[in-house]
Structures are given as C-alpha cells and as structure tokens.
C-alpha cells in the first residue's frame, strides 16, 4: 500500500469482545486509537441465510506498515469465524493528527 496511514474497519458481536480487541491493538502499539460504535445493526448473508445482528463497529487508526500484524491479531482474538477486516488508505488528514498516529504506534 502506498498510503502511510490506514483506517481499518471491523465489527465485534458485543462490547466486551470489542474492548478486549481494541485494548490488545493499542497495548501492542499496532494502533494509535480504536473507536467503538456500539449498537449498530448488521444485515448480511451467512450460510445462505439473511441474518440480522447487533454488533459493535470498530475504527482502527494505524500505520499501514502494521496492517499484517493487525490482521494476525484480529484473526487470533476475534470471536467470528470470518471477521470483517477492511483497510482504507488515509489520503489526507490533519498533519499533527497523522504525526500523533505515527508517534503513538511506533514500538
């Protein structure tokens, strides 16, 4: 990826698992910040059925160079068999905020 920064999006089935995953990402310095959006409703197809589920949305702000490690941590700790994990390059942002992501996410 050419962008230095990413917004990575995922969901969890409940606030407890979302907080646990968010803390693991921040504690490992893989993310500068994880925002949790509780009480969202997802409609999707799983195993040939239309499902309706309450979920907690997560926005992970990170360095693009950390994506592979984030993916591995999510796969290891996420309760879903196939978790959503989408990375969106951050093309622009407040320079001081992007610098904060960089400083906060470096080991």
The pLDDT confidence band at residue 95, using thresholds 50, 70 and 90, is very high
- Asked if pLDDT for residue 3 goes beyond 90, the answer is no
* Number of helices and strands in the chain (H, E): 3, 4
Task: Give the whole-number percent of the chain exceeding pLDDT 70.
Answer: 97
Buried b (16+ CB within 10 A) or exposed e, 55-89: bbbbbbbbbbebbeebeebbeeebebeebbbebee
Report pTM. 0.92
């Amino acid at each position: 990826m050419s962008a230095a920064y990413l917004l990575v999006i995922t969901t969890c089935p409940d606030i407890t698992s979302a907080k646990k995953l968010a803390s693991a990402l921040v504690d490992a310095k893989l993310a500068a910040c994880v925002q949790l959006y509780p009480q969202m409703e997802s409609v999707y197809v799983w195993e040939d059925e239309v499902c309706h589920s309450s979920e907690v949305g997560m926005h992970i702000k990170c360095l693009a160079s950390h994506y592979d490690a984030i993916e591995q941590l999510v796969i290891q700790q996420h309760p879903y068999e196939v978790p959503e994990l989408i990375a969106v390059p951050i093309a622009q942002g407040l320079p001081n905020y992007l610098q904060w992501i960089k400083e906060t996410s470096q080991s």
